[in-house]
Amino acid sequence: MVRIQTDIPNRSEALKEWIHSQIEEKGPVPFSQFMEWCLYHPQYGYYRSGGSTIGKEGDYYTSSCVNPIFGGMVAKQLSQMADILDEEGKERFDIVEMGGGRGFLCKDILDRAKKKLPQFFRRLQYTLLETNPHFLKEQRERLRSYEEEGKVSWMNPEIFEKGEASFTGCILSNELVDAFPVHSVVLANGKLREFYVTQDHGQLREVMGEPSDPRLISYFDSMDIALQEGQRAEINLKALDWIENVERLLKKGFVLTIDYGYLAEELYAPPRRDGTLLCYFRHQTSTNPYERLGEQDITSHVNFTALIKQGEKVGLQLTGLVSQYRFLLALGILQEVEFLNRDASEFDGLRTRLSLMHLIEPEVGMGEVFKVLIQHKGIEKPILNGLKDLGSIPWPNNFLEPMETF
């Protein structure tokens, strides 16, 4: 996909000037506000202006861009969820995807359901919620046939924010929460301080101040986390608000959240004393959010403990949390690859396996740092295939060899 150009000669400079004007008017702003402007400003923001792209020609990959098999495995899990909610297979099953990106995951799920899971396909109704106008346009083009078939529709974001709808099924997101604006904090002289963004002679810089939101002060205590002196960290309060809205949206069923991150104990461990904030520009990473404003993605690792605790607080029970590679292996991805490559050439088979290594390789790929969190509501202790305890799963060292060898 070619990077979309706007009619703004230099979006980064335009956004920088606008942010300077806001700081001159309002004074220093929390980093979370600065991040929100960089990502979501209606004219210059990364996710609004058309600057953000996903895939080989863009700034970053998502799992759904790597191989359609990923969506196929998710479809298998969703099908089992539908069976748990209605064993007779008669009731409608809603899938609501939050932030569907370019529409790859939706298409791959629907393709798999239509070809391999016909009973599930008859029951499902897919709803997308997307705030990026350029992604929304691409979704509608990619999913046109399914929209005409009556299987896909789009929800106005205001309906979600106001809690004016309810669904029975699964609320799904893939790499959504990591893009929420975060507060940046540090423990200084034994006291939690927050970073604000100000300007000095035309340059943006950070200053420390008192926490801007009272929830920041109790955030770490609620998870028994103690930062070390001088340790920086990110706090995603938007994630807490989001999971609360999700609970209101879900009448009965599941919440399936796929993202990269850790439980709080590991996320805020001393080795990560500089936090996890990362910027992505054309598949290159940086820790400097004050350059290429509006032209680079800004993310931070997800605190899954916070999502679990907030979910339990508002009515979502923990079904399970596993690494992405365990989730995919439990759903049979290796067997799927073997089946698909039976009639493929050796070259095509190797190419498929190379792409899948990025999804499931624990050490250098997405397999370990990406997690799959599943929560449920209105169901008694559901048992899902993707959360099966497979014990100590050895990595198949001969994965790149011809499939018949393993």
Q: How far apart are CA 41 and CA 295, in angstroms?
A: 12
Q: Which domains does the chain have, with CATH numbers?
A: 11-184+232-387 (3.40.50.12710)
Burial class for 360, CB neighbours closer than 10 Å (0-12, 13-18, 19+): buried
Residues 6 and 15: beta-carbon distance below 8 Å = no
Provide the residue count of the chain: 406
Does residue 358 surpass a pLDDT of 80?
A: no
**Whole-angstrom Cα Rg for the chain:** 22
Does residue 59 surpass a pLDDT of 50?
A: no
CA 377 to centroid of chain Cα atoms: 21
Report the chain's mean pLDDT, rounded to a whole number: 87
pTM beyond cutoff 0.85: yes
Q: How far apart are CA 355 and CA 57, in angstroms?
A: 16
The single-letter DSSP state of residue 301 is: -
What pLDDT was estimated at residue 68?
86
Q: How far apart are CA 50 and CA 40, in angstroms?
A: 11
Buried b / exposed e across 135-173, counting CB within 10 Å, b at 16+?
bbebbeebbeebeeeebbebbeeeebeeeeeebbbbbbb
pLDDT tens-place string over residues 234-288: 999 999 999 999 999 999 999 999 999 999 999 999 999 999 999 998 778 899 9
Max intra-chain CA distance, the chain: 68
pLDDT tens-place string over residues 176-203: 999 999 999 999 999 999 999 999 888 9
Instruction: Between 369 and 347, name the one with better pLDDT.
Output: 369
The residue behind tokens 């999804």 is: 359
pLDDT tens-place string over residues 275-303: 999 999 877 889 999 999 999 999 999 99
Instruction: Report which of 403, 258, 391, 405 is spatially closest to residue 334, judged by C-alpha positions.
Output: 403
